[in-house]
Structure 1
Amino acid sequence: MHNGVIAETRGESRKKRLKSAKRWQRLEQAYVIVTLLLFAQAFFPFFQAGQVDSVADGNALLQTIWKIIYGIAAVLIFVHRKRVLAVLARDKLSLVLLLMIVLSALWSAAPEITVRRSVAFVGTNLFAIYLASRFTLREQFQMVAWVLLSGALISAVVSVLMPDIGKMLYQGSSAWRGIFPHKNQLGRLMSLGAIVFFLLFMMKVWPRWLTVGGFGLSVMLLLLSESKTALIVLLLLLVCIPFLRTLRWSEYARILLWLPVGLAGICVSVLVLTYLEPILRYFGRDLTLTGRTGLWDIVSEMILQHPWLGYGYSGFWLGWEGESAYIWRVTFWEPPNSHNGFLDVTLDIGLIGLGLVLLSFLSRIRRTLPYQMSSQSWEHDWPMLFLFYLVLCNLTETTLLDHNSFFWTLFIALGFSLPKWRMAERRSHIRWYDLPAGRGEA
């Protein structure tokens, strides 16, 4: 009898601990979702209202919010320090890149700004490391889905009920921006959202009405944002999905599919190049990509002045107060960046830093391939699609090395989340007919 009472007491105690652990996990998930929403620049039009927001000094209210987020991340990293130490060895390149950015204050053209923003970059990376150590790739993927769904729903409501905020009327445009500072940011997020909800639809882990609704809402907001680049990125990623699925096939099956498709792709490319100008005109662009090519030429000239180490992290684009004043003067417009992520990386930390970033991409791709081929589950396509997405977006926009950035956070978290595959596993030949039908990871 006495032993039975003890066993029952222990059982109740175990249940209480499990409930408490689940409650804390939900709180952490809520913290991650809210933080990622803010990193995606959600609600910035509200935060910036009535606030002095200079290129060099930033926004005081937002800086306070970032400090709170970094502080919580630091506490959670201490709480889960064993897990954090366990994942740090998975992505040493990101740690080297982080060190280089901090040290770039030594040669920066604006050392005080580099110090301040490198601290923000460290905080962003700490949050990404915490995210990777605390949650699996599957859990991260689903939290990203909640972030994008929340952003889409609130953006739709704000754009309809508060058009002065939700639309870019102040620039003489009817394009929607929702709760984000610019229509292009809404477009970028919704193109990614469409991909995420397509994968969730195929995974069958969420209700069909929710995934179909999320996909439809994402596409609708993407079109209303009038972001042509984001639309092209979405179309390219949708085309990539069938090819990623074929990576699980045998070599002969892939050749039988890829050879005719490759030949068709060459023919289409020739037609596109032949009629490039009218095609670009249809999308509201020209051969200069709305002045970007001329900007890239001048940026390349500035890179050649400090080729190896650059101008220091965030040490170049400081408006009329920094080295960017020359570009503003000769181009007769005031771009906030190079409109190319890889050029901006080179401006910040030179060709050495660009090499580290490119190696980080290659390292992730090398580790993503065996991860993707290890299962038929659609969620295993997410890492590769996100990497493709990031490359495509940074051809005409800048999201690489951004502090307090939704995209860079996911990139860093991916590096610390992907498992290290042994050589035998990496070289193993996985045939499509040997794989079981995927229904999602447990």
Structure 2
Amino acid sequence: MQETLEILRRNGMLVVALAVILMSTVWSIDPAITLRRALALLGTTAVGLLIYIEVGRAGLLRFFVMNLALFVVGSVVLALVMPQLGTHPSGIFAGHWRGLVDDKNGVAPAAAVFLILCLGVRKQTWVMTWSIPLLAVGSLLLYRAGSATGYASLAFGIAVFVIMNLYRKSPPLRLLIVCGVGTLLLIATLNYSTLFNTALAMLDRDATLTGRTAMWQALTPLITERFWLGTGYGAFWYDPSGYSGFSGSSRWMADMNYAHNAYIDMLLNVGAIGLVIQLAFLFIVSGRLLAGASRDDSDATTMLVVVLTLLFVGIVDTGALFRANAGLWVMIVAFACYAAEWRVIGTTGTRRPALQASR
């Protein structure tokens, strides 16, 4: 109990974010749905906390790699043996693999994260024997899912992985690396349109991002209407057909269940106030993991790459950010606990004696 309270204290912004989500029941457009889904998120978050406490720092990455391996292998087997369940049976995505989840946009980010984790732990003895088969199976699942989001997130994750490992291993070059990344971001910002269109062409996608931009535009007035507090966690997409904004040419969105953008969904759920708090938590976790990378902690470096990749996924998909019943959200919570743990000796993940004795 003492350890749990200490971890929660160190993750105060997470507690605040969850409190805002729970309180959104008060102003929700559907209080019953918000309460039910907020409690589901609290339960999902508690799972991440318990995994961290029971598995410990040293075994955390191994735990998630092994569980994602089971998910990836199970998805591939299901798609091959029972394609009526493991693939999209009809529609524009017919034949695309979805594995053990509802659609390809759910399985692709998980496959990408799995591949990144495999790269991060590839030199550890327990995974070296299986690294090539695991990478092959994960790559097959990602490829057959046919998700541009999955491809882009893997490319982004590998690029960040290379940069962060160079940052971790080369202290004299860190300032140069930071300046280089800053310069690249500035160039990308100034040439956003050209780079964006080039990326779309490479991924064989149009400028609407498969209808996403039209959806975001239609959602704008609805977000403005309840800008500060939102419509309540999980309430809007439960029955969006009641909104006048979904009449006429926008009626097709009444059949959707998320905005294909984590940050727009945050605005819909808990408004600008909640969005700022949730992003503050995610940025704090990233900053702490970056500090771990600066101490030559390879596990923290890999975790940081995963968190940044999931932040990237959130731009074009709801992803795992503050999402109930999502395994990747469990992972983020566990990584946040790792990042918040204080008095880490070297990179072995030794716990503070007082906390260790409390178990």
TM bin (shorter chain): 0.7 to 0.9
In the other structure, the counterpart of 1:176 is 97
Q: Please give the secondary structure, in 2, of the residue aligned with 1:169.
A: coil
Q: Aligned pair 1:304/2:224, yes or no? A: yes
2:140 pairs with 220, 224, 239, which one? Answer: 220
Contact 1:133 1:417 in 2 (8 A): no
* One-letter amino acid of the counterpart of residue 84, structure 2: D
Give the whole-Å Cα distance in 2 for the aligned partners of 1:195 and 1:292.
Answer: 26
Give the C-alpha shift of residue 129 in structure 1.
2.2
Structure 2 residue corresponding to 1:161, chosen from 66, 81, 84? 81
| Partner secondary structure for residue 236 of structure 2 | coil
Counterpart position of 1:97 = 17
Asked if structure 2 preserves the Cα contact closer than 8 Å seen for 1:158 and 1:165, the reply is: yes
Q: For residue 407 of structure 1, what is the aligned residue in structure 2?
A: 328
Q: How does 1:43-122 map to 2 (within 5 A)?
A: 81-122=1-42
**CA deviation string 1:101-149 (max 9, x = no partner):** 1111111101111121122122122222222332323322111111111
2:228 is the counterpart of 1:319? no
More displaced stretch, 181-190 vs 254-263: 254-263
Report % sequence identity.
Answer: 23
- Which of 114, 117, 135 is equivalent to 1:196? 117
Q: Does 1:373 align with 2:294?
A: yes
Consecutive unaligned residues in structure 2, runs of 5 or more: 351-359
Quote the Cα distance in structure 2 between the aligned partners of 1:135 and 1:95: 22
Contact 1:152 1:190 survives alignment (8 Å): yes
Structure 1 residue 420 displacement after superposition: 5.0
Asked if 2 retains the 8 angstrom alpha-carbon contact of 1:101 and 1:313, the reply is: yes
Q: How much has 1:350 moved relative to structure 2?
A: 0.7
Distance change >3 Å, CA 225–CA 111, structure 1 → 2: same
The TM-score with structure 1 as length reference comes to 0.71
Q: How far, CA to CA, are the matches of 1:269 and 1:366 in structure 2?
A: 22
Answering whether residue 259 of structure 2 is matched by residue 345 of structure 1, we say: no
RMSD between aligned alpha carbons?
Answer: 2.8
Residue in structure 1 matching 2:44, options 114, 124, 137: 124
Task: Return the offset for 1:214.
Answer: 0.9
* Alpha-carbon distance in 2 for matches of 1:269, 1:120: 38
Task: Report the AA paired with residue 97 of structure 1.
Answer: A
Residue identity matched to 1:295:
M
Q: Which runs of 5+ in 1 are unaligned?
A: 1-80, 426-434
The higher-RCO structure (CA 8 Å, 6+ apart) is 2
- Look up the equivalent residue of 1:331 and give its one-letter code: S
Q: Are 2:302 and 1:389 equivalent residues in the alignment?
A: no
Q: How far did residue 366 of structure 1 move?
A: 2.1
Q: Which has the higher mean CA deviation after the structures are superposed, 169-178 or 391-400?
A: 169-178
| Superimposed CA distance per residue, residues 187-208 of structure 1 (whole angstroms, 9 cap, x where no aligned partner) | 1111111111111213x23242
Instruction: Give the drift of 1:329.
Output: 4.8
Q: Which shifted more, 394-403 or 262-271?
A: 262-271
Match of 2:250 in 1: 331
Check conservation: 2:263, 2:314, Cα contact below 8 A: yes
Change (3 A) 1:259 1:162: same
Q: How many residues align?
A: 345
Which is higher, the Rg of structure 1 or of structure 2?
1
Is the Cα contact below 8 Å between 2:24 and 2:34 reproduced in 1?
yes
Q: Is the 2:161–2:302 contact (alpha carbons within 8 Å) kept by the matching residues of 1?
A: no
- Residues 206-217 of structure 1 mapped to structure 2, 5 A cutoff: 206-217=126-137
CA distance in 2, matches of 1:328, 1:285: 27
String of CA shifts for 1:153-189, please: whole Å, max 9, x gaps: 1122111111111111233622111222111212111
2: CA distance between counterparts of 1:280 and 1:226?
A: 14
Query: What residue number does 2:54 align with?
Result: 134
Equivalent residue number for residue 417 of structure 1: 338
SS of residue in 2 equivalent to 1:395: coil
Amino acid at match of 1:373: S
Among 179, 184, 203, which residue is 1:283 paired with?
203
Q: Quote the residue 1:231 is aligned against.
A: 151
1:282, distance to aligned residue in structure 2 (A): 4.1
Q: Please state how far the C-alpha of 1:322 moved relative to its aligned partner.
A: 4.5
Distance 1:413 1:330, change over 3 A: farther
